[in-house]
Amino acid sequence: MTPDPQWWRQAVVYQVYPRSFADSDGNGIGDLRGITSRVPYLRDLGIDAVWLSPFYPSALADGGYDVDDYRNVDPRLGTLADFDELVGALHAAGIRILVDIVANHSSNAHEWFRAALAAAPGAPERNRYIFRDGRGARGELPPNDWPSHFGPSAWTRTTNPDGTPGQWYLHLFAPEQPDLNWDDPEVAADFITTLRFWADRGVDGFRIDAAHLLKKDLSEPYRPVPTIGIVADYPDDGSHPLADRDEVHEIYRSWRRVFDEYTPPRVAVAETAAGPVRRARYAGADELGQAFDFDLLDTPWDAVAFRDTISACLDGARISGSSPTWTLSNHDIVRHASRYALQADTDLNRWLLANGTDPLPDLAQGLRRARAAAMLLLALPGSTYLYQGEELGLPEVADLPAEVLQDPQWFRDAGARKGRDGCRVPIPWEPTGPSFGFGSGGAHLPMPAWFSDYSVERQVGVPTSTLELYRAALRLRRELHAGESLTWDDGTEGVVSFVRDTGWRSITNMGSGPIPLPAGRILLASGPVPGHEVPGETTVWLQRTT
Ligand code: BGC
């Protein structure tokens, strides 16, 4: 592993959603030993780091983002010793590890929340969360009408130990995820302890969940809040009472001091819905160091739109002095092989509610575009976050039946939103077996028969497979070792084309017809390149030969 403290600037980070990666004990839930057993796969893929979504004890009201204990491992996923073994195996393979820090809220099973419920209104135990009296003659109405991200209200009423109705508490997500009060010094101190706990165990960095939500303006009269979403439209000027408050940055400056106690300094990446300019503050060298650029997630398949989005993210990184972080998929959105198989204006939720049949996706087109887009991203300066399974070209499992759904979005919104389970189905390793090699005992979300064709085993060693394309792209990216600049080529309509400082040119033809292939030696292509043309929906990497 390179000792370079700047290793993260152009790293390829692979997101593992632990419950759906590999199941070593056959209980249907992926676990840490399962991940350890697949380290050779991750090494061969050629990634620089793994980001592990939460593996902490949790009742799974929100897929583990409801944390009962921040400094432990869910017994269904293993033990702290298993965690240490995983870190050792990854490091031995030259792969770093980032863990998820969920600081906006704990779970309602956290010992602090249980103590808060047992304590009287106004007690210090309640001050770690956000409790308020209700409105109405008997406090029967919520303190205000703020909506929760998962709908409907952001407030839930408690029951006192004697059975009478009590105060209300704030939860921007599910009721099982009470928001912590970041004005309480004990909360702030405890997260410092958590960061040190994992950094001392060898963790190289952190992904900070909902980083823009921690500080709130709860002064009264409460201001109306149309939406508090993770990716939402809110004023980009710090005026929202619940999101992207200026005060939040004090927290990250204090975390930076902790990161810098370590050699090399620990790194972090903010999940935030702030726009590119305000996002730059989270990504500053005195704060978290990086912030996700989610902008490509909803950029339509259009060369002008892609180039504009990429330019805005590069500008944002210039403001912060950080490097951009590109991503096409994660555990919260429909997989991009399916998004690209649909018209850009498709309402993805309605499509999921129709079990992926209306409209019918053009999966061949989706895969073609997904491969071309992945190569485009991997040619850009900055770091790229991959989501497990995208290297297999996996589409969304859009037809999960209602009875297997786990996502609180589905339950809280009374079936109006199908939620995110379709991208969280365990990934297929083998073409046969009850869970396609995920484990010996089935899978916690059903895996469709067509997963067979996408399995790792079917793709390894097949030169045209998506897995081999990712492997080749990651290997080349490492070898080409470009600096952080990019020069755009003059625009041919429908084409995104640029050159890196080492003469490495990436050309993505986003149109449907072919364009002439520029001069240069072909390094890699996302699809067949017959003759001297770049076919539609194809990316070609060239090395300038002059
Ligand atoms: C995570 C989601 C989670 C939410 C609440 C996010 O942005 O990525 O999966 O539901 O935070 O923790």
Confidence bin at 203 (pLDDT 50/70/90): very high
What pLDDT shows up at residue 77?
Answer: 98
Q: Which of 17, 52, 65 to mutate to test the pocket of ligand 1 (most atoms within 8 A of CB)?
A: 65
Tokens of 17: 């959603």
Confidence bin at 233 (pLDDT 50/70/90): low
What pLDDT shows up at residue 546?
Answer: 65
Confidence bin at 248 (pLDDT 50/70/90): very high
Asked if pLDDT for residue 492 goes beyond 90, the answer is no
Confidence bin at 399 (pLDDT 50/70/90): very high
Q: How far apart are the first and last CA of the chain?
A: 34
Nearest ligand 1 atom to alpha carbon 420: 9
Pairing of strands 49-52, 12-16: parallel
Q: What CA–CA distances, in Å, run from 319 to 243, 295, 382, 447, 485?
A: 21, 17, 14, 44, 15
Q: Which is more confident, 310 or 233?
A: 310
Comparing CA positions, the residue from 187, 140, 64 lying closest to residue 179 is 187
Segment 382-390 mean pLDDT: 98
Q: Which residues contact 6 (CB under 8 A, 6 or more apart)?
A: none
Comparing CA positions, the residue from 317, 325, 263, 291 lying closest to residue 5 is 263
Asked if pLDDT for residue 361 goes beyond 50, the answer is yes
CB under 8 A, 24+ apart: contacts of 187-194:
187/128, 188/251, 188/254, 190/70, 191/70, 191/101, 191/103, 191/255, 192/254, 192/255, 192/258, 193/71, 194/70, 194/71, 194/101
**Would the CB of 173 count as within 6 Å of ligand 1?**
yes
Segment 313-320 mean pLDDT: 94
125-182 confidence digits (pLDDT tens): 999 999 999 999 999 999 999 989 888 899 999 999 899 999 999 999 999 999 999 9
What pLDDT shows up at residue 151?
Answer: 81
Comparing CA positions, the residue from 328, 392, 398 lying closest to residue 360 is 398
Q: Which of 230, 385, 407 to mutate to test the pocket of ligand 1 (most atoms within 8 A of CB)?
A: 230
CB 498 within 8 A of CB 473: no
CB 232 within 8 A of CB 273: yes
Q: Ligand 1 mean position to 64 CA, how many Å? A: 9
Q: Ligand 1 mean position to 410 CA, how many Å? A: 14
Segment 385-410 mean pLDDT: 97
Q: Ligand 1 mean position to 209 CA, how many Å? A: 6
Q: Which residues are catalytic?
A: 209, 261
Asked if pLDDT for residue 230 goes beyond 60, the answer is no
Tokens of 39: 């380290």
Residue 2: burial class (beta carbons within 10 Å; 0-12, 13-18, 19+): exposed
What is the C-alpha to C-alpha distance for residues 204 and 7, in angstroms, rounded to an integer?
10
Asked if pLDDT for residue 103 goes beyond 70, the answer is yes
Segment 116-129 mean pLDDT: 97
Asked if pLDDT for residue 228 goes beyond 60, the answer is no
Q: Ligand 1 mean position to 483 CA, how many Å? A: 33
Asked if pLDDT for residue 397 goes beyond 80, the answer is yes
Segment 346-374 mean pLDDT: 97
CA angle (544 as vertex; 541, 497 as ends), nearest 5: 45
| Ligand 1, atom 3, residue with closest C-alpha | 65
Q: Ligand 1 mean position to 324 CA, how many Å? A: 21
pLDDT, averaged across the chain: 95
Q: What CA–CA distances, in Å, run from 208 to 93, 158, 397?
A: 25, 29, 27
Tokens of 505: 């040119």
Segment 210-226 mean pLDDT: 92
Q: Which is more confident, 307 or 490?
A: 307
| Ligand 1, atom 5, residue with closest C-alpha | 65
SS3 34: helix
Pairing of strands 538-543, 504-509: antiparallel
Asked if pLDDT for residue 231 goes beyond 50, the answer is no
What pLDDT shows up at residue 415?
Answer: 86
**Would the CB of 176 count as within 6 Å of ligand 1?**
no
Segment 236-257 mean pLDDT: 93
**Would the CB of 270 count as within 6 Å of ligand 1?**
no
**Would the CB of 204 count as within 6 Å of ligand 1?**
no
Confidence bin at 55 (pLDDT 50/70/90): very high
**Would the CB of 421 count as within 6 Å of ligand 1?**
no
Segment 446-452 mean pLDDT: 98
pTM: 0.97
Asked if pLDDT for residue 20 goes beyond 50, the answer is yes
Identity of the highest mean pLDDT range in 45-54, 231-240, 313-322, 485-494:
45-54
Q: Ligand 1 mean position to 510 CA, how many Å? A: 32
Tokens of 421: 């389970």
SS3 279: helix
Asked if pLDDT for residue 227 goes beyond 80, the answer is no
Q: Over 112-175, what HEC string results?
A: HHHHHHHCCCCCCCHHHECEECCECCCCCECCCCCECCCCCECEEEEECCCCCEEEEEECCCCC
Q: Which of 51, 60, 62 to mutate to test the pocket of ligand 1 (most atoms within 8 A of CB)?
A: 62
| Ligand 1, atom 1, residue with closest C-alpha | 209
